[in-house]
Structure 1
């Protein structure tokens, strides 16, 4: 590429690098999801989504990289930061961000059309406290989020991987809980919600597995953060349509 080539960097437009994606190896003896061989969904954007993406992604979005994020610089202010892993189409992300104007919200998602919908909602709604990262949530936590820097982590309706042979891909395991705890500030909150009964039972067996997290149960009236998701998510709506119960979990890193 010549020095005069002004073509946009694919990373600036949220494109994942070709070839094998970054994949961390953890040697702490804990259980982590095995995602290396999972094929993630592709999707195309509408013309309007693509226009908004080209214009606003370089400011509002990033792609997974070995680069710790300076949230003060990215948001242009110093404020508590909450990371949402698996934001989907961002319905609840945008709704909650409006209710939390003094909180920085970083939405992590692999599915580009989902991020495009959230980006459009943020731009059209003038919601300036949302930023987005395209990548796997565990890799983002490990490679881009500094230890002790987050006020909260949210994981709403993660893939339950219902078949027994796929349980190792579930994000709620001892390893991710340990990683999340390391990224939370003292007093920081982890909020998880699922509509899958077997996954809820799985999570219930892990509530005390991470010593750096104190399980607060649900509901927790004195929680220092917003825990009302305001509007139902796409996946929550499907669960309610099938009469699935919603189970929620709250942990806190002790002060």
Structure 2
């Protein structure tokens, strides 16, 4: 992974050494944060949940071409208006939202392997958006759309309540340093927001390669009264989630990966 795409330490502006050395999707994927202690003096309305961390990165010629040629069909503009899923996809099917798909390889493979389900991916990183659009073209996918915007705002303004069959959050930034833990995406305020957009019986699938974060995820998701764990603790990796190149490399080095799958009560 290029240094320019590594998470930055929010206090010193330097790459976080722990994250920079992690050979997994934790480095690749965009992730969320909840504003940390340095924003504690802001008024309540300014302490917002954010689903991403901006990264530097260069858009390749192939990614730019995909943005130009496939963007008009598959890249949906952000709008403050609820989506009509059947109109968006041209059919009525279950819809799954992915938050922070990174470079989109797993997203494209999942959509290809689940043709009877429609997928919406949210990502703010232009190279990642371009890379996923290229995969859409290469694989001939029709059941995948992309929104380049903050997923929290997309949820609030574009996703109808109770409409999603599932939500995927794979390898969000682990924010290894203890003083940065509050910036992790999976925290109670966001989870409460997510479940309002799940249909009864809909699922929330999170995955991480950082065990302390997995423990936090298990605690936070377990405390949400509208969710039920589908496993006794961590779940077996569902067959639809492919192993990424970073995950494969991490597993070969003996690193663990933890999946959590919770369902909304009917």
Normalising by structure 1, we get a TM-score of: 0.79
Alpha-carbon distance, 1:32 to partner: 6.6
- Give the secondary-structure state (helix, strand or coil) at the position aligned to 2:186: coil
Tell me what 2:68 maps to: 54
8 A Cα contact 2:201 2:263, kept in partner: yes
8 A Cα contact 1:177 1:210, kept in partner: yes
- In structure 1, distance between residues paired with 2:159 and 2:98: 12
Tell me what 2:24 maps to: none
Instruction: Spell out, residue by residue over 1:86-112, the C-alpha distance to the aligned partner (whole angstroms, 9 max, x if none).
Output: 111111111111111010011111111
| Pair 1:94 & 2:108 matched | yes
- Give the secondary-structure state (helix, strand or coil) at the position aligned to 2:200: strand
Alpha-carbon distance, 1:72 to partner: 1.3
| Pair 1:219 & 2:235 matched | yes
Q: How many residues align?
A: 221
- In structure 2, distance between residues paired with 1:113 and 1:246: 26
Using the TM superposition, name which of 79-88 and 157-166 deviates more: 157-166
The aligned runs of 1:67-106 (5 Å cut-off) are 67-106=81-120
8 A Cα contact 1:32 1:168, kept in partner: no
| Pair 1:233 & 2:249 matched | no
Alpha-carbon distance, 1:125 to partner: 1.0
Alpha-carbon distance, 1:237 to partner: 3.6
- Give the secondary-structure state (helix, strand or coil) at the position aligned to 1:143: helix
Unaligned 5+ segments in structure 2 are: 1-42
> Which structure is higher in helix share?
2
Normalising by structure 2, we get a TM-score of: 0.76
Alpha-carbon distance, 1:216 to partner: 1.5
Tell me what 1:124 maps to: 138
